[in-house]
Amino acid sequence: MEVSPPRHLKARKQPRQARSASTIDAIFEATIQVLIAEGTHRLTTTRVAERAGVSVGTMYQYFPHKQSLLYALNERYLDRLAERVEMTCRTHHGRPTGEMVEALIAAYWEAKTERSDVTRALYSSAVELDNEALIDAFAKRMDAATRAMLLSAPNARYEDIDLVNLTLLSVIFGTVRNVFERNLPSSDQQAICEELKRMCLAYLAMAGGEVFPPIQAT
């Protein structure tokens, strides 16, 4: 499902030529680099334009405000993230619940961790932003993907799959973010990730998912 962004945050024009597309990519890339190198409060339109090799005026042809640039950047990021998680969900259809949870957490965790500087930069850039629509769209996609996956498990009997699913996602997303925010040593991060899996498993087992693979009847 596509959720349209608030009108004032829309990009001014769609790139129709290869040149435009590459300009936009350069601007995105420059934004991330400035964010990582200088931090949110030093992220200026001039600096981004300079590093992207265009003038401010050109940037404003594509993004009517600084906010719309950050909006688009986060949109692109969340879109890719959603695709990865959806893929994981699809490939675990019909598997035992335990495997699902493990794979789901691992996929989300890895997507966030493999470029932790980018993740951190985007977390911080998103806050200056009216990003409710983005979060909503992302949440809806994730919800649909994990819901379908969980229900496809053998012998899944959830009393309230929507609540269980909502809770599961809130806990996973929230915990991952919290771990990033505290900047714990990598070994602690790994350990928490494993504990998070155990916790979610315990929860799902209690809520009606069959965690271990069914014994095959012969």
Which of a copy of itself, DNA, none does residue 183 bind to, with CB < 5 to 8 Å depending on kind? a copy of itself
Q: 105: which residues sit within 8 A by CB, 6+ positions away?
A: 172, 193, 196, 197, 200
The answer to whether 209 touches 150, Cβ cutoff 8 Å, is yes
The answer to whether 98 touches 212, Cβ cutoff 8 Å, is yes
**What residues between 11 and 50 interact with DNA by CB under 7 A?**
17, 19-20, 23, 42-46
- Please, which residue, 56 or 206, has the CB nearer to a copy of itself? 206
Buried b (16+ CB within 10 A) or exposed e, 107-132: bbbebbbeeeeebbbbeebbeebebe
Tokens standing for residue 105: 């957490």
Tell me the three-class secondary structure of 58-109, residue by residue: HHHHHCCCHHHHHHHHHHHHHHHHHHHHHHHHHHCCCCCHHHHHHHHHHHHH
- Please, which residue, 124 or 167, has the CB nearer to DNA? 124
**What residues between 62 and 81 interact with DNA by CB under 7 A?**
64-67
Binds DNA (CB under 7 A): choice among 55, 155, 170, 190? 55
> Is residue 85 a contact point for DNA (CB under 7 A)?
no
Binds DNA (CB under 7 A): choice among 56, 87, 163, 202? 56
- Please, which residue, 17 or 186, has the CB nearer to DNA? 17
**What residues between 8 and 27 interact with a copy of itself by CB under 8 A?**
none
Binding residues for a copy of itself, rule: CB under 8 A, are: 40-41, 123-124, 127-128, 132, 135-136, 139, 163-164, 166-167, 170-171, 173-179, 181-183, 188, 191-192, 195-196, 198-200, 202-203, 205-206
Binding residues for DNA, rule: CB under 7 A, are: 17, 19-20, 23, 42-46, 54-58, 60-61, 64-67
